[in-house]
């Protein structure tokens, strides 16, 4: 019996294309970090998959919501930060709403997204990552998100305009913008928030730039 197990183990180690994933090789460091920084109780997850079943875009994700929580428990940081899941997530909070143990899955994925944005890891969904960063930049500057200013800043980012023009979505988005403008649903200018200083302080604190 022992020889059979050893033989199978040896075959698995030398099987081409197979990469063994270590469980618990870094202890609970990543789990403790996420729970501490995001204020979520990831340890309460028992993999019922209700978060994934409730997610309207789970079929676009390479790592499903319940799997993302499990990856954190296992300490698989790089897999999560390289995934499309953290960028595809709509932050609709359906996953959080349906969790029986009140694990804030949406906040967890949002925290992973911010970690990835501030890391050297190349995002799997580049255009979504650029949009996320542009959103934060506009919010920091004015304290409010003006859609016209946001999209203008987004299109000026490197390669975004060319990519939109190439895949044919630029015309569609411009026509949608004109429709919203005619109906008065798109404001070209909005005043800065009165709480701009508090918003900027919270932004820098979240980035660990000030105490």
Look at the block and give the residue holding tokens 């409010």: 144
The domain made up of 23-124 is a member of CATH 3.40.50.2300: no
Cα-only R_g, the chain: 21
Question: What pLDDT is recorded for position 27?
Answer: 67
* pLDDT (0 to 100) of residue 199: 86
Average confidence (pLDDT) over 114-139: 89
Task: Give yes or no for a contact between 24 and 74, defined as CB atoms under 8 angstroms apart.
Answer: yes
- What confidence tier does 11 reach under pLDDT thresholds 50, 70, 90? very low
Q: What is the DSSP string of 55-98?
A: -TTGGG-SS-HHHHHHHHHHT-HHHHHTSSHHHH-----HHHHH
Q: Averaged over 6-16, what is the pLDDT?
A: 49
pLDDT digits (tens, 9 = 90+) for 128-161: 899 988 998 898 888 988 899 999 999 999 889 9
pLDDT over 90 percentage in the chain: 51
Q: Is the pLDDT of residue 117 over 90?
A: no
Q: What is the DSSP letter of 192?
A: P
Residue 206 dihedral angles phi and psi, to the nearest 5° = -65, -30
Q: Give the mean pLDDT of 33-39.
A: 93
Stronger pLDDT, 94 or 126, i.e. the higher one = 94
- Residue 78 is predicted with a pLDDT of 93
Residue 28 binned pLDDT confidence (cut-offs 50, 70, 90)? confident
Most confident segment among 6-20, 162-176, 190-204: 162-176
pLDDT (tens digit, 9 = 90+) per residue, 59-92? 999 999 999 999 999 999 999 999 999 999 999 9
The predicted model gives 175-195 an average pLDDT of 89
Q: Are 136 and 186 in contact (CB under 8 A)?
A: no
Question: What are the structural domain ranges in the chain?
Answer: 23-124, 126-211
DSSP codes joined into one string, 146-172:
-HHHHHHHHHTSTTHHHHHHHHTHHHH
């Amino acid at each position: 019996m022992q020889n059979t197990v050893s033989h199978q183990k040896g075959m698995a180690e030398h099987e081409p294309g197979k990469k063994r994933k270590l469980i618990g090789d870094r202890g609970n460091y990543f789990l403790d970090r996420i729970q501490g920084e995001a204020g979520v109780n990831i340890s309460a997850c028992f993999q019922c998959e209700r978060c994934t079943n409730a997610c309207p875009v789970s079929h676009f994700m390479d790592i499903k919501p319940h799997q993302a929580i499990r990856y954190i428990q296992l300490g698989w940081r790089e897999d999560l930060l390289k995934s499309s899941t953290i960028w595809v997530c709509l932050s609709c909070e359906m996953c959080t709403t349906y969790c029986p143990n009140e694990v804030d899955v949406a906040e967890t994925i949002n925290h992973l997204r911010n970690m990835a944005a501030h890391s050297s890891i190349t995002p799997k969904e580049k255009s979504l990552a650029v949009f996320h960063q542009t959103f934060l930049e506009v919010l920091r500057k004015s304290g409010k998100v003006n859609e016209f200013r946001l999209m203008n800043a987004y299109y000026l980012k490197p390669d975004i305009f060319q990519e939109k023009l190439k895949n044919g979505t630029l015309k569609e988005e411009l026509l949608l913008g004109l429709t919203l403008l005619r109906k008065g649903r798109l404001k070209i200018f909005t005043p800065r928030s009165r709480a701009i200083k508090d918003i900027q302080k919270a932004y820098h604190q979240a980035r660990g730039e000030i105490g």
